[in-house]
Every structure is written in structure tokens, then in C-alpha cells.
Amino acid sequence: MHDVIRDAHSLTLAAGHLHRVGNARDRRFTLVQILGTDEHAVHTAASALAEGKLVAIPTETVYGLAADATNGDAVARIFEAKGRPHFNPLICHVSHIAMAERYAEIDPLSRRLMDAFWPGPLTFVLPLKPDAGIHPLVAAGLDTIALRMPRGVAGKIIAALDRPLAAPSANASGKISGTSAKAVADDLGQKIALILDSGPSEVGLESTIVKVQGDAVLLLRPGGLAAEDIEAVIGNKLERIDQRAAIQAPGMMASHYAPSAVVRLNVHEVREGEALLAFGPERARGAELAATSLNLSETGNLREAAANLFDFMKRLDGSVSAVIAVEPIPFNGLGEAINDRLVRAAAPRALSTDEMDQIK
Ligand code: TXA
Ligand code: MG
């Protein structure tokens, strides 16, 4: 088998293709099966999940590394595959609101927001129904659970399995979230058997996480649904937590989105040899000195920028430049989440250890 594919990037099969991952020099390759999103793929994924295996599945935000949330062994495998330093609580994905009701207490305001935005890039932290069957490892022993109903084929898989799926973003811990099947295969292909491919993620940023407290809606993580959209439904401003103080969403540690290159933000003047992450129609001074450059959105469209962010960061990180210079990006709409991810990417690596200690 190895001989057959030695020089090929991937091997096309009738039902999909096998993607070669591993070190080309020692020829120890692993094969990860990549399927599309047809009925056969949904069935294959649901069967694998029912057996306690990990499957990488597309959602509208980013690809998720999914396991049956009621199976502790399977959930533990997620942490193993991601190489997560700690048991951070994971988002649990449901196929309909009735499934969410089985596992969490849903207050009327959360319910209103679910009606408005599900399926979609909005996650709720809710009181967990303790004996309903979600394995305690999913919530890392907390008495709350983060629930989300994703768009796309993920919902079909969850409905077929009739169990919720615990699924963090499909990337090794500290790496950029996977927004394509190829990115997932390159990052985690040696740890998982199956990836479903639905092309590049539509939103490209993880979901927005909120928690309702009385009449207030707390923004725990800015993400793929803009704060303004939620505010339009509730008729109120969201409350923001101090990102450095309370680590209510522990996955938010500063260096969570760490490229290998040094990241310089709000750059008005590009230095020679830097990789430039541009935004909008106007260029920073010295842009022509950049070794390479990618524009998140030529027209300054934040939605387009969000969808390109992780892919472009990954590509610039893989270039020869040791520094990624990022042009200023406005803070409105999805700009809040884009800036949040960029600040984390720019955080000095030493910070992560400190912050990890805080959440032990
Ligand atoms: O778009 C997304 O949300 C993607 C896709 C795959 O759905 N998933 C994702 O999951 O980003 P993950 O595990 O990478 O991020 C989970 C976040 C973390 O910041 C975690 O701390 C927070 O959710 N979280 C989970 N359960 C929580 C809880 N009970 N209370 C507070 N935060 C929680
Ligand atoms: Mg993640």
C-alpha cells in the first residue's frame, strides 16, 4: 500500500480518498480516509462514532474533532489526539433543540436566541442536567455544559447517531483551527481514521459563546456570530468579561492560536522580508518590501476576512518569513473575533505557561 502511494499526495478511491500523512523521509505513512458528505459518508461517520472512534467533521465555523459525548473513552481520545495540556471543557453539538433539552436547563432568553440563531455559530453555556448521560469529562467536571447546533452535515450525523457529539476544533493544541479537510489531515491525520470533507468552512471562525445570567447575556468568546446580531434580538448590549481576569472559557488562554512566526499587529509600516497579512483596498507603507502577502479581503469585507483568517495565517506561517505583519482590522461585527484571534496569535509564547497554570 505504501509503495502504491509513495509519490502521491493522496489516493483516490471509489468512495472517497485516502490521504497520506507522515514523514516522507522515513516512509512511515498513515492513511486517513477522507469522504464527502453524502448518505454513505454520514452513515460511515455515525457508525464509527457509535464504536467510540474519532471523526473529524465539517461545521459552518471550523472542522470539529468529534466523539460520542456519552462515551468517556471516546471523549478522552479527543484530548489525547489534540495533545491538550488540560481537560478543557468541550462544546457539545446537538441536532435539534429537543436534544439540547435532554441535557441542559434552557432558560427563556437562551431559548429565544436558539430560535433566532440555531442552527448556527452560537454556543450557550447552560446548567447541565447531571444524570442525563453526557460524560463528565466533556464538561471537565463543571456543572454547566456548552451546547451548539451546527449547520451542515454535522447535524445529520448527530441525528443518525441520536447522541450529542463533543467536538473541539480539529487541530492539535495550540495550532490554528482547521478550516479544510486538508488542514485537518495535515495536523491530525495520524491520530484519526476518518475525515468528512465539505470544502472550506463557511464562517472560518469558531462559534460565539454566550451565557445568560438573569436578563444579561455574557459574551464569553467572540466568534462567528457578531455581537451586534445578538444585540438586535435581545434589545440590549452584551456584557463582556475581562479577557485576562476571569477565564470562564478556559480554551481562551492567550497563546491558543499560536503560529510559529512572530506576529506583529496593527502594522502601518511593513519591514523588509516580513510576510504581510493585508486587509482592505489600501496598503500599509512599505508593503512592497514584504516577502509575501495575502489579503484577507480586498474589499474590506469582515465576513470574507473571517473565512480566510486561519487558512491565510497558516500559509504565511509556512512561508520563509520569521514575522507576520498584520494590517489594522476594524473592531466592528466579526472584526471583534478576528482581532481576538490575532491578539492570541501575537501573544508571547511564555504567557501560555502562566495562563495554563491559572486554569489547572
Ligand atoms: O465553532 C466552534 O465552537 C467549534 C466547532 C467545532 O463547533 N468548536 C470549538 O470548540 O471551538 P473548542 O473545544 O475548541 O472550544 C470550546 C470552548 C473553550 O473556550 C471552552 O473553554 C469553552 O468552549 N467551554 C466549554 N464548556 C464550557 C463551560 N461549561 N463553561 C465555560 N466555557 C466552556
Ligand atoms: Mg480550538
Give the tens place of pLDDT for each residue, 101-120. 999 999 999 999 999 999 99
Q: What residue's CA is closest to ligand 1, atom 15?
A: 168
Q: Across residues 153-159, what is the average pLDDT? A: 98
Provide the pLDDT for residue 295. Answer: 98
190 against 92, higher pLDDT? 92
Which ligand has the shortest distance to the CA of 122? 1
Provide the pLDDT for residue 73. Answer: 85
Q: Across residues 162-172, what is the average pLDDT? A: 95
Cβ of residue 249 lying under 6 Å from some atom of ligand 1: yes
Question: How confident is the model over 61-89, as pLDDT tens digits?
Answer: 999 999 999 998 898 889 888 886 566 78
Top mutation candidate among 209, 241, 247, 257 for ligand 1, by most atoms within 8 Å of CB:
209
Provide the pLDDT for residue 29. Answer: 62
Of all atoms in ligand 1, which is nearest to the CA of residue 128? 29
Q: Across residues 257-276, what is the average pLDDT? A: 92
30 against 60, higher pLDDT? 60
Q: How far is the centre of ligand 1, averaged over its atoms, from the C-alpha of 158 (Å)? A: 18
Q: Across residues 319-344, what is the average pLDDT? A: 92
Provide the pLDDT for residue 83. Answer: 80
Give the right CATH number for 2-196 from 3.20.20.70, 3.90.870.10, 3.40.50.300, 2.160.20.10: 3.90.870.10
Question: How confident is the model over 282-308, as pLDDT tens digits?
Answer: 999 999 999 999 999 999 999 889 888
Provide the pLDDT for residue 241. Answer: 76
SS3 sequence of the chain:
CHHHHCCCCEEEECCEEEEEEEECCCCEEEEEEEECCCHHHHHHHHHHHHCCCCEEECCCCCCEEEEECCCHHHHHHHHHHHCCCCCCCCEEECCCHHHHHHHECCCHHHHHHHHHHCCCCEEEEEEECCCCCCCCCCCCCCCEEEEECCCCHHHHHHHHHCCCEECCECCCCCCCCCCCHHHHHHHHCCCCCEEECCCCCCCCCCCEEEEEECCEEEEEECCCCCHHHHHHHHCCCCEECCCCCCCCCHHHCHHHCCCCCEEECCCCECCCCCEEEECCCCCCECHHHCCEEEECCCCCCHHHHHHHHHHHHHHHHCCCCCEEEECCCCCCCCHHHHHHHHHHHHCCHHHHHHHHHHCC
Domain spans, the chain: 2-196, 255-358
Q: How far is the centre of ligand 2, averaged over its atoms, from the C-alpha of 260 (Å)? A: 17
Query: Of 7-21, 303-317, 321-335, which one has max mean pLDDT?
Result: 321-335
Question: How confident is the model over 131-143, as pLDDT tens digits?
Answer: 899 988 898 778 8
Provide the pLDDT for residue 136. Answer: 82
Of all atoms in ligand 1, which is nearest to the CA of residue 251? 19
- Is the confidence at residue 121, as pLDDT, over 60? yes
Mean pLDDT computed over every residue of the chain: 86
Query: Which fold, 255-358?
Result: Rossmann fold (3.40.50)
Question: How confident is the model over 175-213, as pLDDT tens digits?
Answer: 889 999 999 999 999 899 899 999 999 999 999 999 999
115 against 19, higher pLDDT? 115
Cβ of residue 204 lying under 6 Å from some atom of ligand 1: no
Provide the pLDDT for residue 246. Answer: 44
Question: How confident is the model over 229-262, as pLDDT tens digits?
Answer: 999 999 999 998 765 444 444 444 555 567 889 9
Provide the pLDDT for residue 175. Answer: 85
Which ligand has the shortest distance to the CA of 90? 1
Q: What residue's CA is closest to ligand 1, atom 3?
A: 207
Low-confidence winner among 29-33, 50-54, 140-144, 311-315 (lowest mean pLDDT)? 29-33
> How much of the chain, in percent, has pLDDT values that exceed 90?
65
